[in-house]
Amino acid sequence: MGVSMAVCEMDSDSSTCKVGKNSIVKVKLKNLAGAESMAEFDLVVPMAAAKAALGAELEGILKRARVDAESDSIYMEKVKAVPDQEKLKPLAKKVYTGWVLLPDGPQRQKLIDASDPDDRLNRWDMLSFDEMNAACKSCQLSWDDGRGCIGTFGPENSALPEIAAKYGAKIVASVPKSVQEKKVFSTQDAQELLKEVALLRVKLPDEGKMMVRRYSGVLDRLEKLANISIKYGARFYFF
């Protein structure tokens, strides 16, 4: 496992994802009582019921829908042919997924409160990977060459923290420990990090050409991370 570094994107209003991440779209509930009208569901036909109603005709329907005849049920979303849909739909039953689309109004907060924090999806979660990547590339907090606000520090056994400790660069030296402790660094720490990067650039040649080649890129990324942290008032961390 490697170590990554990132800014706390939610600290800044300049983050393109902040509004989306703060806008919960749907939640998963253990008890849907009173929320059935807003709940998502699948239309499912029990295989046994389909065989009893359609007999030999079912074989062709299953082939067209690419459904295994040994399955326990048929999900209507897989049935594309309209004539097949018309034959199966009367046999279909609603199977609730547990997810509820949040309405506007007073009931919204009640539904959020009734859900586990891990069972909530926001507008950012609903984007495709391509949409997320496009948003990250356009974000002002994107410091890793347009790839976003998260970048690579290096492998867990990186020698850079040990080298940093040798020269008194405390933040870089503390990276492994900060990962374990889940420490979040302040924008004031970012100012210190810039000083450490400048120091290590001077000292790395004393560690040999291989260390310069191996860690110059890491120092570049640390510098970009620190500058973004300072410019947009966003804290940073390693994980």
| 185-202 tens-digit pLDDT | 999 999 999 999 999 999
Burial of 141 (0-12, 13-18, 19+ CB in 10 A): buried
**106-116 mean pLDDT:** 94
| H or E segment to which residue 218 belongs | helix 209-232
Q: Specify the pLDDT at position 67.
A: 96
Q: Specify the pLDDT at position 100.
A: 97
Q: Report whether pLDDT(89) > 80.
A: yes
**58-81 mean pLDDT:** 96
Say how many C-beta atoms besides its own lie within 10 A of residue 149's C-beta: 26
Q: Report whether pLDDT(121) > 80.
A: yes
Q: Quick one: which of 36, 53, 65, 60 has its CA closest to 92?
A: 53
Q: Report whether pLDDT(80) > 80.
A: yes
In the chain, the percentage of residues whose pLDDT exceeds 70 is 100
Q: Specify the pLDDT at position 146.
A: 76
Q: Report whether pLDDT(86) > 90.
A: yes
Burial of 45 (0-12, 13-18, 19+ CB in 10 A): buried
Alpha carbon separation from 57 to 68, 76, 91, 212 (Å, rounded): 15, 17, 15, 71
Largest CA distance in the chain: 81
Alpha carbon separation from 122 to 27, 113, 118, 136, 198 (Å, rounded): 9, 15, 11, 16, 40
| 141-162 tens-digit pLDDT | 999 887 899 999 999 999 999 9
CB 229 within 8 A of CB 187: yes
Cα–Cα distance measured from residue 185 to residue 17, given in angstroms and rounded to the nearest whole number: 21
Q: Specify the pLDDT at position 17.
A: 96
Tokens of 52: 């009893």
Look over the chain and give the mean of its residue pLDDT values, rounded to a whole number: 95
